[in-house]
Amino acid sequence: YDLVPPVEVRSVVGGRWVYAVKLGPDNEDKFKARYVAKGYLQIDNVDYQETFSPTARVTSIRMLLQLAVQEDLIVHQMDVKTAYLNANIDCLIYMQQPVGYIETDVKGQNLVCKLNKSLYGLKQSGRNWNNVLHDFLVNIGFEQSFADQCLYTRYKDNIKIILIIYVDDIILAASNNAVLDDVKISLCNRFKMKDLGKLS
């Protein structure tokens, strides 16, 4: 975001802190804080246009697991860290500064955040993220399925890799470790990823 003076003709979307305690890798408590937009304050056709974002069908996941058993595929899972923050914003959105980090201009007036990237809580963030991930996967040679928009495949020299996307979670099934590692490296080079290893 960029800090700018508030614009009279535009609405300013609110925000709030969301706190969570998650379990760390060694079973220790991990405290997380995330500043999210109050998307319910967004105005249709002003702050957002399209909002639809696909998610994988359960039948696609079942099909992948069945195929993995039949063809002895290696199945792993990955998670994209702060996925929505990877996508550029598609509308001009102004948002309140986070409580505790408020800056003012020389006159003492509170500035507002002009968003450059999508943020959790915005109505179109899921769609923006899905578009970014789709473009990336197509660029590295994957084809999107007609049956399920969240199913991607790549076949080369009788070696296959299949991806299923569920928002920021990715299931990968591959013929061998080499192609699996290659795709994982490509994903890690483009996004901040958490490799969760074998699907569990």
Q: What are phi and psi of 131, to 5 degrees?
A: -65, -40
Average pLDDT taken over every residue of the chain = 92
Mean pLDDT of 141-161: 93
Supply the pLDDT for residue 188: 96
pTM exceeds cut of 0.85: yes
**How far from each other are the two terminal CA atoms of the chain, in whole angstroms?**
37
How many residues can be counted in the chain? 200
Supply the pLDDT for residue 54: 93
Confidence check: pLDDT of 109 > 90: no
Q: What distance in Å separates the CA atoms of residue 128 and residue 15, rounded to the nearest whole number?
A: 19
Supply the pLDDT for residue 94: 92
Mean pLDDT of 72-100: 92
Report pLDDT digits (tens) over 16-65.
Answer: 999 999 887 788 898 999 999 999 988 888 888 999 999 999 999 999 99
Mean pLDDT of 73-95: 93
Confidence check: pLDDT of 142 > 90: yes
C-alpha R_g of the chain: 20
Supply the pLDDT for residue 141: 93
Q: What distance in Å separates the CA atoms of residue 115 and residue 14, rounded to the nearest whole number?
A: 12
Confidence check: pLDDT of 9 > 70: no
